Structure 1
Amino acid sequence: MSEPVLAARALSKSFGPNDVLKGIEFEVHAGASVALCGENGAGKSTLIKLLTGLYHPTSGHVEFNGNQEDWSSPRASLDAGIAVVHQEFSTIGALSVAENIFLDAEPLTRFGLIDRKALVSRTEALLDKLGIHLPARSLVDELSVADKQMVEIAKALRSDARVLILDEPTAVLSQNETRHLFKIINELRARGLGIVYVSHRLDEIFEICTDITVIKDGVVTSQGPVADYSHDTVIAAMVGRELGNLFPEKPHGAEAGIPMLAVRDLVVADGVPPVSFEVKAGEILGLAGLVGSGRTELALAIYGAEAVSGTVLIEGEPLDYRSPSNSIDAGILMLTESRKDDGLFLNSSVARNFAATTPGHGVHPARVAIGHEEARARVMKDRFGVVVDNVGLPISALSGGNQQKVLIARLLENRPKVLILDEPTRGVDVGAKSEIYKMLRHLADEGMAILAISSELIEIVGLCDRVFVMRDGELAAELMSQEISEEAIMSVAAAETSSHHGVASNG
């Protein structure tokens, strides 16, 4: 086999007494696509930061093109040919596509001014080469999330990169957009680029990657060709044990309870038919559909975050003057799609984030005793298995899965009757996903009504008792128990005409 273009040799990193990575051996070859897998907190991000010069190793070294390197900064590794597309976008909305792609590398006129004509021309040539169809002069603020992702990829590849590192690249992409991304990845591999692909979605890894490296607790637990692995062996290497069934068993033959949430003639957008449905106590109802089908908009409308016409009832009583605060008072709680934008106070402690929406039952907000937040947060930590040494640490120090557990625990402090979850496991590793699934099933078994939105079809199929498939803002089909499958959902979601499954309006 040829020499790797990028490699970690006995790479270790410690922060004080905490050994984050221990003797990592990792290789990326030209034309290969290597999956980097592991639970949140396993050390994947630290490895990427070491490979690109953001961190310096405690011991060991990085090799690039056969030479030992000690990058002075991420810019130095980028200039050498290592490009990274991070999970969190770095685009600037007020700038155009072209300005974002060539930020800090704009072509200049002989007078030292930006050469706008050359900037647009270079951008169009690059986008055409990558098969990305975006107007170079469009403001990034006007683009969809998926198109912003494409801008990030083009920005990373504006120079002659030898290695491209992609961190959760499909988290915000629809199925069609994911297919296009995979086409770009395969074309880049054919041109000789080495790809590092970080994802919690195992189906994608088996489709797009040639090799796999699994890290657990800072140590490589398994690596080799993808063909030598199955889903179960990857999961076992990631979590250190067999998970068994990823999803808890659904209740068989048990009737759901009374309608807990009822939606009547809710008009979410102009030109879209009104929506009516119910979620019963003890039921997990799924909302499936392609990105842009209207799932999030419907959830926000129910929650009162969007002004729409129609009626929302909780236990048969209309919820007047809909707003998020009134919904919370009535017993409807919502986990938003983006925990970092809409859910977390990143500079605040775990304890403060947990207590953000309620001081605790029977406690007046103006009379919260010193240490009360921390004491409650420690109880929450133990109950929900949140991995953190000290609840006084910033929540930004936690992995994505542990941040998600804190947010769900915070919602449950309000003792909801209805729980709306928009992408409940986005960016969460497979071990934490299993724990969240079991938690949600337990809540449903106790009588809570749960409305779950997910772009991961396996999640909808494995978790939900009943599923509505959305298309173009309307409920296109209702699938019951044995009807629920990935094929059935996609046949409706991607269809151009209405399905004939028949959607029950429940009155």
Structure 2
Amino acid sequence: MAGPFLAARGLSKSFGPNQVLNNIEFAVSGGQAVALCGENGAGKSTLIKLLTGLYTPTSGHVEFDGAPAKWTGPRQSLAAGIAVVHQEFSVLGALSVAENIYLGAEPRTRFGLIDRKALKRQATTLLADLKITLDPDTLVETLSVADKQMVEIAKALRADAKVLILDEPTAVLSQNETQHLFAIIHDLRARGMGFIYVSHRLDEIFEVCTDITVIKDGVVTSKGPVSDYTHDSVIAAMVGRELGDLFPPKASDPNAGALVLGVRNFHVGSDLPPVDLDVRAGEIVGLAGLVGSGRTELALALYGATPSTGEVHLSGELMPHRDPAGCIDAGILMLTESRKDDGLFLNSSVARNFAATTPGFGAHHNAIPPGHEDTRAAVLKERRGVVVDHVGLPISALSGGNQQKVLVARLLENRPKLLILDEPTRGVDVGAKAEIYKTLRALAQEGLALLVISSELIEIVGLCDRVYVMRDNEIAQELRGADITEEAIITIAAAETSRHHGVAA
């Protein structure tokens, strides 16, 4: 049997006195898809940077095709056949699909100019080979997030890659798009390509991967064929303990609380159907549906961030004119889908991010004393279990789970009546997810009303007391109690509608 394409041999990496990786043994061969699992901060990203030449190891070495790799940067590893699709996109919106795919490697005429015909021809051939239905001439800025992901994959595969590293590749994909990606992976594996697959979604790891390697605190704690693992054993290897039930018990009587949010004849767009929904104190209500079903658009409209018509009642009071500032004052707070784009001030401290929407809270006579933000943030840090050495550190230094805790704590400082949470655990490891679920259930038990959007069906099923399933920008059905199952949600969300396709399936 041929040796691995890419391997880490006794690989260690330290930054000053901080040892991030210790004696890592890791390998991927042709035809394998190796899941690289671990909590945020476990060392996965550092390992990938070492494997691709972005970092130099403190000890040990990277092996490629059986020999020590001499790469001094990602350009050399890419030329050798190691391609990476990062979680953060690198596509350029002002360029076409073809120009993005072959950026820096454009075919040239004998005069040194870009050969536009050859560029389009090569891009068309590559996209067809990957069964990606995109026009090479389309500007990337006009594409959906999912299509941009496909451009990233095509870009990574423009050369003869031997190993493709995928970092949270399905975070922005619908179920159908995810299955398309899995089909691409299976096809390329059959051709002999190897994959390193990084994801917090365990279900898809068991569906698409052949092997698992788990890293905790910079050390490989477990590795082997995927058939040797269960969800629970992967979690135990990641967090060092059995988590037990991931989700806390649901409310015994979710309809006992007073009506907090009442939405009637609500139109997000003039040509879209009306929406009616309720959220009561003490319950967690889910908005489920496929990507593009209108979940986020509805949430933003309720928050007053986009135009809408219809009635929105908060605790029995009609809110005729809504904008985000007015909603915050009234008690409607929203956690947006992308914490980096819309939630965090990445260059500011943890304390500044905590206090961003309530800078003078607790101060007297409109005078904010020195150190006020740090003092408040230190209290919230302990109360919400945020792991950080000092609240004066930049928030970009925190893991995704801890960044999310900061955002939730900031929202709660505004004394909300209703929390709207769009993808509250995106990019968060399984241990931090369990903590977030407990926090949300505790908030509901305190009488808060929560409206949660999630693309992870297990999260909707395990967390929510009631679920509205959306399809084509309208609420197709409401589910309660034992009727809330993954199968029921998918059946409703994927059914054809009378509005577009005839009678619903």
Question: TM-score scaled by structure 1?
Answer: 0.97
Q: Indicate whether 1:273 and 2:273 are aligned.
A: yes
Aligned equivalents of 1:256 and 1:298: distance in 2?
A: 25
1:448 to partner: Cα distance? 0.3
Question: Residue in 2 aligned with 1:504?
Answer: none
User: Partner of 1:198 in structure 2?
Assistant: 198
Cα distance in 1 for residues equivalent to 2:321 and 2:164: 50
Q: State the partner residue of 1:224.
A: 224
* CA distance in structure 2 between the partners assigned to 1:130 and 1:467 by the alignment: 36
Query: How far apart are residue 255 of structure 1 and its match?
Result: 4.0
Residue 498 (structure 1) shift: 6.0
Q: Does 1:5 align with 2:5?
A: yes
1:222/1:139 CA distance change after superposition, 3 Å: same
How many residues are treated as equivalent by the alignment? Answer: 499
Check whether the contact 2:254–2:465 (CA below 8 A) recurs between aligned residues.
Answer: no
Deviations 1:49-90 (A, max 9, x none): 110111111111100111101421111111111000000000
Provide the C-alpha distance between the structure 2 equivalents of 1:207 and 1:61, rounded to a whole number of angstroms. Answer: 31
**Amino acid aligned to 1:358:** T
Output the amino acid matched with 2:215. Answer: I
Equivalent in the alignment of 1:487: 487
CA deviation after TM superposition for structure 1 residue 362, in Å: 2.9
| Partner amino acid, structure 2, of 1:113 | L
Q: Which runs of 4+ in 1 moved over 3 A?
A: none
Say which SS state the counterpart of residue 223 (structure 2) adopts.
strand
Q: Which amino acid aligns with 1:209?
A: C
Superposed displacement of residue 319, structure 1: 1.5
Q: Does 1:295 align with 2:288?
A: no
Residues 1:20 and 2:20 are matched in the alignment: yes
Residue pairs, 1:57-96, within 5 angstroms: 57-96=57-96
Is 1:376 matched with 2:370? no
Q: What's 2:244 paired with?
A: 244
Q: What is the aligned partner in structure 2 of residue 335 from structure 1?
A: 335
State the shift of 1:399 in Å: 1.3
Q: Which amino acid aligns with 1:346?
A: L
Q: What is the distance in 2 between the residues matched to 1:254 and 1:129? A: 50
Match of 1:189 in 2: 189
List gaps (5 residues or longer) in structure 1: 500-507
Q: Secondary structure at the match of 1:367?
A: coil
1:254: how far off?
5.6
2:420 aligned partner: 420
Equivalent residues of 1:61, 1:70 under 8 A apart: no
Identity of aligned residues (%): 73
Matches of 1:307 and 1:222, distance apart in 2 = 51
Alpha-carbon distance in 2 for matches of 1:372, 1:434? 31
The worse-fitting range, judged by mean Cα deviation, of 391-400 and 282-291 is: 391-400
Q: SS of the residue aligned with 1:196? A: strand
Separation of aligned partners in 1, 2:442 and 2:392: 29
Q: Is the CA contact (8 Å cut-off) linking 1:56 and 1:70 kept in structure 2?
A: no
Shift, 1:445, TM fit? 0.3
1:259 aligns with 259
Partner Cα distance (2:100, 2:260) in 1: 47
Shift of 1:375: 1.7
CA contact (8 A) 2:269 2:307 kept: no
Residue 291 of structure 2 contacts residue 455 of structure 2 at CA under 8 Å; is this kept in 1?
yes
2:366 & 2:130 partners in 1: Cα distance?
A: 57
Structure 2: gaps of 5 or more residues = 500-505
- Cα deviation 1:400-423 (Å, max 9, x = unaligned): 111111111111111111000000
**Letter of the aligned partner of 2:470 in structure 1?**
M
Structure 2 residue 211 is matched with structure 1 residue 211:
yes
Query: Alignment partner of 1:477: what SS?
Result: strand
Aligned partners of 1:226 and 1:172: how far apart in 2? 25
| 1:304 is the counterpart of 2:301 | no
Question: Per-residue deviation at 1:271?
Answer: 2.6
Determine the structure 1 residue equivalent to 2:503. Answer: none
Secondary structure of the residue that 2:155 maps to in structure 1? helix
Secondary structure at the counterpart of residue 53 of structure 1: coil
Aligned-partner Cα distance in 2 for 1:266–1:11: 57
Q: 1:461 maps to which residue? A: 461
**Could you report, residue by residue, the CA deviation over 1:346-376 in whole angstroms, capped at 9, with x for unpaired residues?**
1111111111111253326962222211222
**Letter in structure 2 aligned against 1:447:** G
How many Å separate the matches in 1 of 2:365 and 2:81?
54
Contact 2:266/2:308 (<8 A) preserved: yes
Are the equivalent residues in 2 in contact too, given 1:281–1:444 (CA < 8 A)? yes
Mapping of 1:424-443 within 5 angstroms? Answer: 424-443=424-443
Q: Which residue of 2 aligns with 1:503?
A: none
What's 1:150 paired with? Answer: 150
What do the CA deviations read for 1:163-222 (whole angstroms, capped 9, x no partner)?
000000000000000000000000110111110000000000000000000001111110
1:46 aligns to what SS in structure 2? helix
Q: How far off is 1:2 after superposition? A: 2.9
Q: Distance in 2 between matches of 1:192 and 1:370?
A: 61
State the distance in 2 between where 1:54 and 1:463 align.
Answer: 40
Q: Quick check: 418-427 or 397-406, which moved more? A: 397-406
